[in-house]
Structure 1
Amino acid sequence: MSGLREQKKAATRTALSWAAVRLTVERGFSAVKVEDIAAAVGVSPRTYNNYFSSKAEAIAFRHLERSLRLATDVRDGPPDEPLWEAITRASLRSLEPGPEVEHMPPQQPDEWPAGRQAMWAEPALQAELLRANKIAEKELAAAIADRTGRDPESDLYSRLVAASVMAANNVALELSVEAGQTEPMESLLPRALRMVATGLPTP
């Protein structure tokens, strides 16, 4: 029963995060209330507050969850898979939408690029994203250390690779939401990772 309860809590947290993203993109950050997010998932505002302390934290959690899933997939991938292939595979898998997106699909898809751009520009959200990135980077470094037989606490290599992968993710995300950008995250991210993996040679 404990396992099922934890799964339900995790699903609720993920659904709340996606609802916060979806509503913020559609309406704007200041126009969305906690009550709106809770109602979209069918829970009370009090329940929402058991999971998140702010809208920004709820939005950033989706990014954190995706990044933590990347770390888990890198650690659990085939042991004979080359490291950068494992990272690229896990990165692309982390972009796949979850079931909560099917239950609450985006509205007015044509308006999403502008809405996403405005959302990511919110100062409160940027602060939460920095915090999420540091958490995810530490987990990814530990996963890389596991794969390469190194000490995650003292190894320079695993930390540098993790920091580089997170940087590639962040830059690809920023570019994907910029006005006029036509290349999607699913294409930008593997291209960014290839550049990092080859040592960023001068174009």
Structure 2
Amino acid sequence: MPEPVKGLRERKRLDTHRALATTAVRLVAERGLDNVTVEDISAAAGVSPRTFFNYFPSKEDAVVIAHADNAERSQRIIEKFLATPKEVSTPRAFVDALKEDFAQVDENREEWLGRMKAIHDNPTLHSRAVAMNHDTVAPTIEAIARRTGLDPEADLYPTLLLSTLGGVINAALRHWYQHDGRVSALALLDEAVDLLLAGLPEPGGRAR
């Protein structure tokens, strides 16, 4: 499903958000979170602190929120997921739906390495990153339930699948970060999903 065409004002809003986010990540990677202020980020991005606060409530948010249209991106992923043919397994359909967004990790390697280092080094950023996705959890569980014909509250599968796939995504990103982004994040995601769908067989074929 193609992205909707955006007007000039909306593109400018998204571009300004991106400029502030990438600047925040770069400065925090260079100096550390405690040594960077909102004023530093604003000056480096060429805007006023007042403009900064039109986009982010804090410097922490500027580091973890890569895109202004995060909610819309999540909705598009759900729509792609629900539109995937039924022949495709539900876990694979979900991962395939988010690949376009996930590809940006590879396309913006230095930015994401800096963001992940900042999150790794600062527990408050990790908590903020988790909280950022809170509003997408219930709609995603409902979408999984809809695709599988289950009840999102009565049946365990939708919630379990989302939690499991979240672990798959985090494992792929962690491995990518540990290898300094020298391997493809998308390839790692595919490998992780394949292992999951195969039942996570032990390497070397050891018996259970």
Question: Could you state the TM-score of these two structures normalised by the residue count of structure 2?
Answer: 0.70
**8 Å contact from structure 2 (residues 91, 161) kept in 1:** no
Q: Residues 181 and 19 from structure 1, CA distance in 2 versus in 1: closer, same or farther, beyond 3 angstroms? A: closer
| Distance across 2 between alignment mates of 1:63 and 1:119 | 17
CA shift for structure 1 position 41: 4.0
Aligned counterpart, 1:145: 145
Moved more, 121-130 or 140-149: 140-149
| Distance across 2 between alignment mates of 1:177 and 1:64 | 24
Counterpart of 1:49 (choices 53, 67, 79) is 53
Counterpart of 1:95 (choices 87, 99, 102) is 102
| Distance across 2 between alignment mates of 1:31 and 1:119 | 12
Aligned counterpart, 2:29: 25
Aligned counterpart, 2:65: 61
Q: Residues 176 and 80 from structure 1, CA distance in 2 versus in 1: closer, same or farther, beyond 3 angstroms? A: same
* RMSD, matched Cα: 3.6
| Distance across 1 between alignment mates of 2:152 and 2:23 | 35
Aligned counterpart, 2:119: 120
How many residue pairs were aligned?
Answer: 192
| Distance across 2 between alignment mates of 1:199 and 1:67 | 32
**Aligned AA for 1:35?**
E
**Aligned AA for 2:118?**
M
The structure 1 segments of at least 4 consecutive aligned residues displaced by more than 6 Å after TM superposition are 63-68
Percent sequence identity over matched residues? 35
Larger Rg: 2
**8 Å contact from structure 2 (residues 142, 152) kept in 1:** yes
Q: Could you report, residue by residue, the CA deviation over 1:76-118 in whole angstroms, capped at 9, with x for unpaired residues? A: 34341522332232232112339xxx9xx88xx5x985x5563
Unaligned residue ranges in structure 2 (runs of 5+): 1-5, 204-208
**Aligned AA for 1:50?**
N
> Does residue 159 of the first structure (1) align with residue 159 of the second (2)?
yes
Aligned counterpart, 1:201: 201
| Distance across 2 between alignment mates of 1:143 and 1:22 | 36
Q: Could you report, residue by residue, the CA deviation over 1:11-43 in whole angstroms, capped at 9, with x for unpaired residues? A: 533443233223323443233321232334443
CA shift for structure 1 position 192: 1.5
Q: Could you report, residue by residue, the CA deviation over 1:125-164 in whole angstroms, capped at 9, with x for unpaired residues? A: 1111221243343343233233334444444222111111
